[in-house]
Structure 1
């Protein structure tokens, strides 16, 4: 049996090194070098060419290289009998939580505005916020969202969450479903999107959502670019309904040089670096599933195709 790496636009050499460091005798193939295809039972994937997995008659599992699986599930020709798994890694989780905390702190103290002033040699102290002055709302209370919320709570922020179903997280109220979304939005002065990308959550960061936030709210998107309706964000920023936004993910990546987000004074852009999978760490977890598959044992971190996460 062989492991197949399938990834467009990503250097997979760190993954090869990580896997071979753990299992020197395990054969690793990189798409399109897949012959013989009958030997492939396990694939590790990110942004694969659609329809490619139907070429492998003995494929049993597709493991995402990261926490997200929308790049796999969007394939209409995905084999029905193949199990899909995701990475749940403490490094990924902590990286996301520290990044979102840094962005909230930057918003609270207005540091981006001072950087702009520095570029113009302009000295102008401004009032700033404190933790008690606003509430942070986290959309998506899975592993990443829950940890982000808890880290902010430990720093003294008022934090609340929203999810598809109710969650029991100590000291953090979590609202659930469409019936409780409006109240959650109306009381969230900073909105962090950490939702999985599903048909239900695509385009959820839209004009209707933004209008339900308090006037002058701040939006942080570290989930997927497809969550955000870009034109609606620009309109709400220009009208003053939103005070600003921090965006780490985009519909097109890299973000085109001519995109209006680059020059907008109320938008901070980062190049999808909020939480980056460490191949050395993730490979250990993925290989556990490879071993389980080989021995006929149940896999871990299985994704529900129905839920999309």
Structure 2
């Protein structure tokens, strides 16, 4: 008999996941924390999002961990994470679409001076702002995996000169690409709207500091829908206060929920959203999970595996 599947995440989606997995796999032994995990030695697969540290190490016969998000840093921070159990992540076309929509919304809002027009409306002032052609507004996407490439393609389709930056060299038709430390400064210098979709790793922690923000053209705009740990908050605030950056749309933060006394809440050039840029959609994420469970049970190679050393 196949082993149990443990769902370690928010309870709101548990019935959707159970229904979708059973539609693809047949009857399954599906367990949740709230309903009770039963004999944990029977657990074969864990579907997890931000589990309590040490919890997954208790499942001694587990054969696969599935991150219920496209990022896996929430798992890799657990120093008791089983080292011999493969980690896979979801590949969710629905989530990818949400992320690109989030970036495009804030970029277009900035590009079209909507904040200024809202202020004019409050003051009952009729004041057209200077027109800026899309060809003059260069978009740069940090992180060039599935989400980054989808986002870059959509910006390019809208007419924005678009570039991508990644740790290693990548190519994408119609998109200028940069990579590695040597390409980072060049990438920033040509970017008027910076979009962050990097994974959080040892190498990317604190990458966006005073030097990085100073490397952007004056008046640049910053959109972070990746991880708050990439940003040195005090350096971002200093760049905003000085006017070097014209604004920022932030969906992720080093501490979540964002503390009520943090200046991001009240800064006039910052827009805050509560980590909603991309939510896992069970309907679009389940097929890949089902495929991996089938492969696991058939002794075949898994897809969408993660290298714990690189974090993706």
Structure 1 length as normaliser, TM-score?
0.94
**2:25 & 2:270 partners in 1: Cα distance?**
45
Deviation at 1:199, TM superposition (A): 0.5
The answer to whether 1:218 aligns with 2:217 is: no
Please point out which of 105, 108, 111 is paired with 2:108.
105
**2:146 & 2:238 partners in 1: Cα distance?**
32
**2:259 & 2:293 partners in 1: Cα distance?**
38
Decide whether aligned partners of structure 1 residues 128 and 271 sit closer, same or farther in structure 2, where only a CA change above 3 A counts: farther
Decide whether aligned partners of structure 1 residues 18 and 121 sit closer, same or farther in structure 2, where only a CA change above 3 A counts: farther
SS of the residue corresponding to residue 162 of structure 1 reads: strand
The answer to whether 1:79 aligns with 2:82 is: yes
Unaligned runs of 5+ in 2: none
Decide whether aligned partners of structure 1 residues 115 and 23 sit closer, same or farther in structure 2, where only a CA change above 3 A counts: farther
Please point out which of 240, 244, 249 is paired with 1:241.
244
**1:210 & 1:9 partners in 2: Cα distance?**
39
Partner of 2:41: 38
Partner of 2:256: 253
Contact 1:136 1:158 (C-alpha < 8 Å) held by counterparts: yes
SS of the residue corresponding to residue 43 of structure 1 reads: strand
Q: Deviations over 1:214-247 (max 9, x none)?
A: 1111111010111111111111100111111111
Q: Deviations over 1:7-47 (max 9, x none)?
A: 26876444334334545621111126222111101000000
SS of the residue corresponding to residue 280 of structure 2 reads: coil
Aligned pairs for 1:13-162 (under 5 A) are 13-23=15-25, 25-31=27-33, 33-162=36-165
**1:125 & 1:264 partners in 2: Cα distance?**
25
Decide whether aligned partners of structure 1 residues 297 and 34 sit closer, same or farther in structure 2, where only a CA change above 3 A counts: same
SS of the residue corresponding to residue 35 of structure 1 reads: coil
**1:50 & 1:10 partners in 2: Cα distance?**
21
Deviation at 1:255, TM superposition (A): 2.3
Decide whether aligned partners of structure 1 residues 156 and 59 sit closer, same or farther in structure 2, where only a CA change above 3 A counts: same
Q: Deviations over 1:113-164 (max 9, x none)?
A: 3234444545433224221112111111111001101111111110111111
**1:256 & 1:120 partners in 2: Cα distance?**
31
Decide whether aligned partners of structure 1 residues 307 and 130 sit closer, same or farther in structure 2, where only a CA change above 3 A counts: same
SS of the residue corresponding to residue 261 of structure 1 reads: helix
**2:61 & 2:238 partners in 1: Cα distance?**
50
Aligned pairs for 1:191-206 (under 5 A) are 191-206=194-209
SS of the residue corresponding to residue 284 of structure 2 reads: helix
Q: How many residues align?
A: 309
Partner of 1:308: 311
**1:98 & 1:20 partners in 2: Cα distance?**
31
SS of the residue corresponding to residue 265 of structure 2 reads: coil
Q: Deviations over 1:37-76 (max 9, x none)?
A: 1110100000001111111111111101111111011111
Contact 1:108 1:128 (C-alpha < 8 Å) held by counterparts: no
SS of the residue corresponding to residue 234 of structure 2 reads: helix
Decide whether aligned partners of structure 1 residues 78 and 307 sit closer, same or farther in structure 2, where only a CA change above 3 A counts: same
Structure 2 length as normaliser, TM-score?
0.93
Deviation larger for 260-269 or 7-16: 7-16
Decide whether aligned partners of structure 1 residues 9 and 259 sit closer, same or farther in structure 2, where only a CA change above 3 A counts: farther
Contact 1:8 1:49 (C-alpha < 8 Å) held by counterparts: no
Q: Which ranges of 4 or more aligned residues in structure 1 deviate by more than 6 Å?
A: none
**1:287 & 1:152 partners in 2: Cα distance?**
32
SS of the residue corresponding to residue 257 of structure 1 reads: coil
Over the aligned positions, Cα root-mean-square deviation in angstroms equals 1.8
